[in-house]
Structure 1
Amino acid sequence: MHIGKRVFLYLTRKKGKNLILCGIFFLISFSVLAGISVFAGASQISKDLRSNIGASFDIRPYEQFVTENGQVSSNGTPVIYESAIRQILDVIGTKLKTYNTEHHGFAKGQNLSFIAGMGHSEDSNMGEVIAVRDSSLTKTFFNEECRLIEGSHIKLEDKNKILISKELARKNQLSVGDTLQLTHAELGSENGDYIDLIKEKTAFATVEIKGIFEIKNMTDSGLNPTAKKAENMIFSDRQLLFDLKEQKQDVYEGELSFFISDPLLLNEITEKVENLTSIDWNNHIVQKNDFKFSKISAQLQTIQNIVTSLIVIVSVLGIVILMLMMTLRIRGRIKEVGILLSIGRSKKEIIGQFVIEAVLVLFMGFLLAVIIFIPVSTMLNTHLFATVMQETIKDIQLTTKNTNYLQLDFYKTILLLGTETGMTALTVIVSSAMVLSLKPKEILTKMS
């Protein structure tokens, strides 16, 4: 009888035993498929998160004060030059997503009444101007201390555009699209009163209100002068402070923010930046922000470690169980083996028959595992990568948030099937060795 026919007859006649073996193959295949998919999914979502959320670092100036003869004086406002920014951009290279600069000044407006602060007077009726490349990237908006409610943010291409607070707009009956004439100012004090140090006005600019924001999380102690009240902040494009002669070309006094595409490179990049000699690090500091990626990455790494352990455990237990089952299975077929040997069948052919039988049952179990895993993967994906990290990434807008990271990869699935086939064949060979090492006469003697 041909080997193929013997395999067919055994599989159809011993349905109960083969169904049990198929169930074991199914459980092993399903567990390993799930484990590999979760491991690969965690790696992929980590990459997607890196590219989606990126990271940033800020270079913040801080003014140093010295005490001499009982008098406290400033060492001057720290500045960074455009040449230093160019060097930073060279260090970041292709990993740069965007960057933002800030410069601070003060302004008064024609027929513009600011919200009164401590010691308010006509002389101190001014607001602080924050000139930026992109207002949406400032910490005020980025950290949601303020929220734009009308209009749009200041962008790099804007000229003579401003954002004002809801309170300032309401007091002066202003709306998006209105124009104002501003002039330069400088906050100072004299005899305990807040004053404008620029008495003669020589610089003017006509600006358009591009947007209106509301203040959400800022607190006011009530001790701030008018110019320092949050309601009197004015965000503008960079050109305004040039026009008002309060900013020099290529010189920056405010905070610089650089956004990069890969959080894993944040430490490496900031270390190189801190080695630049063009920045006075005695009065500047670097602050890093990976937008919670380290926390998310730690969660994903924990998932991967657990899954790796489970894959190893399932694989070892599967091999042990298969070894025991195949050993008992083949010992139960001693009579069949003896007859086949006695009629001249080779041990190689007999082992080949056992291997083919086991591999066919494996294919059935594996196919069933794949069919069931496909719909289950969606639910498992939601539980692992949505529910588990929901609180961590709820404020991050992901472009891949609806992706099923547990979808089966064709090549990995084929590789797993090949690996299981090889392990199954090896298990059958090892399990058959004890019986097939005997001679036909010894086997027939054991049968009797």
Structure 2
Amino acid sequence: MHIGKRVFLYLTRKKGKNFILCIVFFLISCSLLTGSSVLQGISQISKDLRSTIGASFDVRPYEQFTAENGQVFSKGTPTINETSIQKILDIIGNELKTYNTEQSGYVKGQNISFIAGVGHSEDSNMGQIKAVRDSSLSKAFFNEEYRLIEGNHITPEDKNKVLISKELAQANQLSIGDTILLNHAEFGNENGKYLDLLKETSSFATVEIKGIYEIKDNTDSGLNPTAKKAENIMFSDSQLLFDSGKPQIYNGEVSFFISDPLLLDEITKKTEKITSINWENHIIEKNDFKFSKIAKQLESIQKIVSSLIGIVSVLGILILILIMTLRIRGRIKEAGILLSIGNDKKEIIGQFVLETLVLLFIGFIFAAIIFIPISVVLNNFLLDSVIHTASNTKTVNQYNYLQLEYLNVAILLLIEICTTTLTVVISSATVLSLKPKEILTKMS
């Protein structure tokens, strides 16, 4: 009788035993599909989050002071020049997503009155300008302390554009598109009075209002002078405070946004070696946007799943060896008869292997079909908290990271086929090592 026919007859006649073995294959396949999908999903979500979230670091100045004869004196405002910034950009290279510069100064306006603060007078009627490449990347907006409610943010292409606060706009009846004539100013204090240290008025720019923002939680204590009040801050394009033809020097922080959080430490270490930056009055502040926390969560899940895959694999092999050994020992009579009529041992083992692989294939197919809807539930249960943590910082697409991939399924099925074949051969060896006469003697 042909081997294929013998396989078919055995599978159809011994339905109970074959059903149990098929269930075993189904459970093992479900476990391995789940484990491998979780490992693959964690690897993919880690890559996606790294590119989506990114990271940033700030080169931040801090003013140093000295005390003499009971008085405190500033050592001067720390600055960073365009050459140093370019060196940092060269270090970052292709990992750069964007960067933002900040330059601060004070201004007066010929057709604007600033919100009055402590010691307000005509001479101290001034506000602060923060000239930036991209106002959306300024810390106040990026950390959602300020929110743009009208118009658009300042971009690197803008010239003579400003954002003003809602309070300043209402106090001066200003709206999007209106213009303001700005004068240079230098905030100072003489004899307890706040004033403009520049004695000559110099008009330098007519700016257009591009946007209006509101302050989320304005905690002004009421002790700030006019020039220091948050409502009097204007955000402008980066060129507003610079004289054309002169080297650009920044007295505010410079922020760099990179693609891969894993490179953040390496890049900042190289940045700290730039000698043109005075590191006595500058510091680097790193921000990986919670990626390190997310990575630890993913690593914990990965370790647990890897351990479970190992346990399931070992137990699965042991259970298969036990079942196949009992199964083949129960077929000693059949093996003896087949050997006595001239069938080769390899052919008999081949029959046992083929029967088992048919059951494996059926169990695997059902496991794969059932895993498809289960993967959605598992994705939400295992990775939802990670995705939620990331989405608090940046938008992450809702995606089923545990869905089956054809290549992984094929590799997993091949591994199960090889393991099962080896298990059947090992289980058959103890019986088929005997001669036909010995087998028939054991039968009697």
User: Residue deviations 1:12-47, cap 9 Å, x none?
Assistant: 111111111111111111110111111011111110
Deviating more after overlay: 303-312 vs 248-257: 248-257
In structure 2, the partner of 1:189 is 189
Say whether the 8 Å CA contact 1:144–1:217 is kept in structure 2. Answer: no
Q: Please point out which of 322, 325, 334 is paired with 1:324.
A: 322
In structure 2, the partner of 1:420 is 416
SS at match of 1:241: coil
User: Residue deviations 1:33-74, cap 9 Å, x none?
Assistant: 111111011111110011111000000001111123433222
Q: Aligned partners of 1:395 and 1:10: how far apart in 2? A: 59
Instruction: For residue 435 of structure 1, report the CA deviation from its aligned partner.
Output: 1.1
SS at match of 2:241: helix
For normalisation by structure 1, the TM-score amounts to 0.97
SS at match of 1:372: helix
Deviating more after overlay: 215-224 vs 365-374: 215-224
Q: Give the share of equivalent positions with the same residue, in percent.
A: 69
Q: Aligned partners of 2:119 and 2:330: how far apart in 1? A: 100
For normalisation by structure 2, the TM-score amounts to 0.97
Q: Please point out which of 387, 390, 393 is paired with 2:390.
A: 393
In structure 2, the partner of 1:20 is 20
Deviating more after overlay: 144-153 vs 196-205: 196-205
- What stretches of structure 1 of length at least 5 have no aligned partner? none
Amino acid aligned to 2:438: E
Q: Aligned partners of 1:375 and 1:391: how far apart in 2? A: 21
Q: Aligned partners of 2:386 and 2:126: how far apart in 1? A: 46
Amino acid aligned to 2:307: S
Instruction: For residue 141 of structure 1, report the CA deviation from its aligned partner.
Output: 0.3
Amino acid aligned to 2:361: F
In structure 1, the partner of 2:435 is 439
Say whether the 8 Å CA contact 2:242–2:248 is kept in structure 1. Answer: no
| 1:123-272 matched pairs, under 5 angstroms | 123-242=123-242, 249-272=247-270
Runs ≥4 residues deviating over 4 A:
none
Q: Aligned partners of 1:215 and 1:9: how far apart in 2? A: 80
In structure 2, the partner of 1:2 is 2
SS at match of 1:239: coil
User: Residue deviations 1:260-290, cap 9 Å, x none?
Assistant: 0000000000000001111000000000000
Q: Aligned partners of 1:124 and 1:330: how far apart in 2? A: 98
Instruction: For residue 221 of structure 1, report the CA deviation from its aligned partner.
Output: 2.0
Instruction: For residue 441 of structure 1, report the CA deviation from its aligned partner.
Output: 1.6
Is 2:397 the counterpart of 1:374? no
Instruction: For residue 433 of structure 1, report the CA deviation from its aligned partner.
Output: 1.2
Q: Please point out which of 307, 321, 333 is paired with 1:309.
A: 307
| 1:32-181 matched pairs, under 5 angstroms | 32-181=32-181
How many residues of Structure 1 are paired with residues of Structure 2 in the alignment? 444
User: Residue deviations 1:386-434, cap 9 Å, x none?
Assistant: 2x225412323335x2222112121111111111000000000111111
SS at match of 2:236: strand
Say whether the 8 Å CA contact 1:133–1:238 is kept in structure 2. Answer: yes
Amino acid aligned to 2:20: I
Q: Aligned partners of 2:218 and 2:45: how far apart in 1? A: 35
Say whether the 8 Å CA contact 1:338–1:443 is kept in structure 2. Answer: yes
Say whether the 8 Å CA contact 2:115–2:232 is kept in structure 1. Answer: yes
Say whether the 8 Å CA contact 2:187–2:194 is kept in structure 1. Answer: yes
Instruction: For residue 436 of structure 1, report the CA deviation from its aligned partner.
Output: 1.2
SS at match of 2:33: helix
Q: Aligned partners of 1:367 and 1:274: how far apart in 2? A: 56
Is 2:435 the counterpart of 1:429? no
